[in-house]
A and B are shown apart, each in its own frame.
Chain A
């Protein structure tokens, strides 16, 4: 269709045309995405290949010093008088050897079965300690990680030895310990700054996370609790329990699937409603406060900001008591002649209440950020619109709203993600309740989100396997939401534009 034809259409037709187009383009987008995968794979293989080929060169062309570095890390560096690097490599190898012999080896060898010898209580009352599946899985993951690191260190040690050999052959100056130390503040400054935080990230975030992802493929639940009992790999059966209701988890399978559907639906409904209600109401309030002719701007804003300043757990716990059946809100309502409202006890009212309280908590944030942006909209835009005879409503929909959407777009996504994981508001306000649906898994309630259900499954039920599966689903939802939107945001792609 020609551009002119498109311009000649009315609004509704344009909308239909665009909608149609986006559907038409969708398969292409998907196929393009998959078409780029082999390309990316090829590139990454190339990269790996080039570093490996250097590694192989070291074996073929290296002298005995370099070849000895295959066994003793850093040997090549030491003989070329790069003592600092050399001894660090050697130290790493020694520590690694001790770790594997004294700690890691026993776990990694049992990793494929997660232990075979259960702990048994003997006749005389003593316990014969067997394998602990939990430790095997956790430290197995850690050990795999460490082995992976060792391979990288090994390769780089050999490459450096070979490099030093070649440098001496052509009489080039090597980088000695003193230069290395100096370079830590300059050329290798990223290593200096990031290595310690990264180690923390690995130990306390990445390894536990990988562990929990693995747990999703085991039957680690209250029937298989270490150290008394063993758990083992079960493949994808937890996933099929949750999705279709036929898996290993005994009679509760169908309940799990039913509960999952309800909780998932409510989580998404909640996240969408909470995000958009917050955004629009916050924006309207911000516009009113910033309107010309409204006085005491600072006072209004300050009153709202108090809610941000008070810690969330305080305000939410307080709210939960104020909204109780005989809480202060109901007292006021009955005094005014109304009937007491079952704020947190009736399923559908409780859902509305949660959304309302979320407004109470969230609108001030939106007001704060919108205020800053509203002040940034150039005044001459409005001036021009006024001269052209636009009414306030038109100005709002044609100037303010598009501008805000443009600027607030990225933070809307993070708000959406934050709402999916909004633990505090549900757990502290309703505790997930009310729950009187007999078909649901006992602990899940009507207002439970995936994240609070996950919490209850781990803390109350010890169904770690199902909790992990749910965690993976939360990840998938969040990742999809981010993928769909991040690619459209220019600021993510062109980070260098601003420097």
Chain B
């Protein structure tokens, strides 16, 4: 793949450019300026937060802090909560309600979120509410995430919401408390980075493949200190679901925030959602949102360009999202890597993953398949997977294949479309919404040494269970792998079918 990495010095010294850049702003500059409450002398700033999403794992100490200090939330209507990380996903365990959660620590955390939301009056979609789901799926689905907003959540994948032309990033527990109490965040302005994907994507190539390819090129530290704007024709043609997948993994490229400019698609997606503006407000909002694009003349501190038509389906082979390659490739040979640190980390990764240098990616055998997570559990993802699965059977060598919808509403939608039938007929398990095997905080886990084709976002050691081996792929690729029992280029499988 062609990579054109241009490091431009921030704000050129040239007088002309200086004048230009003063007037011209990037999308990030605009969002920042519109929310700046106070610039402090030490370089930090107070920015106003429009929306905070809360879940059970990172909020309890924040609420407790509020209680201890005798403070009240600044603005209740800025918050929306739902439990996701710990909730069980089998219908049996779910049916019994919170009482039925087997793991005590999980049960207490879920119960505590309910209690806190009740005490402080925060709107919550409880565990068995049909609107419950993974926070990053629920926010946009409800129109709680809107263009032009600042969005925070005590979770690093909050970058997802940037798909709407919003400034969204993950924060820690003490910051959750800070935002609850002051409606502001203390932060520093990041640099502007543009990742442009030109041309058009080929058939069978998805947003997940694009973002994995980007991380493969720039590395997991490539976006450090930056807010990334994704642009270019290939990005513009992505659906909102695809853009969310892309921004979701901006954090895996080292950037705390990722974003895509607002266009017709953004507005179409938001229209009519429960918390979206109505009537007169809607017209005013749409007008305001037109400005949520980078000015043509705006200067970026860094620009990276990829060719969309050269990207093919991607599979990670290592223990970091940057250890990735095309499905028709091979596992790299550490001995051939010149950089010593990289060579060492590659051989360590191969050892953990139980892979041989030079092995074909398509020869990697799988034990489990997981379709879900805030990266890829939206209706479009389930449709793409079902499309591959339809009329086929999960390979007998696969121990477990899971589909975990991102929210109760997505689950219902999929069931209306008959997708659940397609999955269960093929041998997949159809689960209740939650984070599930993305981080294995509930009972859904990999065993030691097991390989998993996963549509989630992190392939770190032990992420999906102690000793588990994760390969990140798109939903279509995960579905194809489930059918074959090993990785396969989903485009070939589709050709076979036709």
Q: Do A and B bind each other?
A: no
Measuring CB to CB, which residues of chain B are less than 8 angstroms from any residue of chain A?
Answer: none
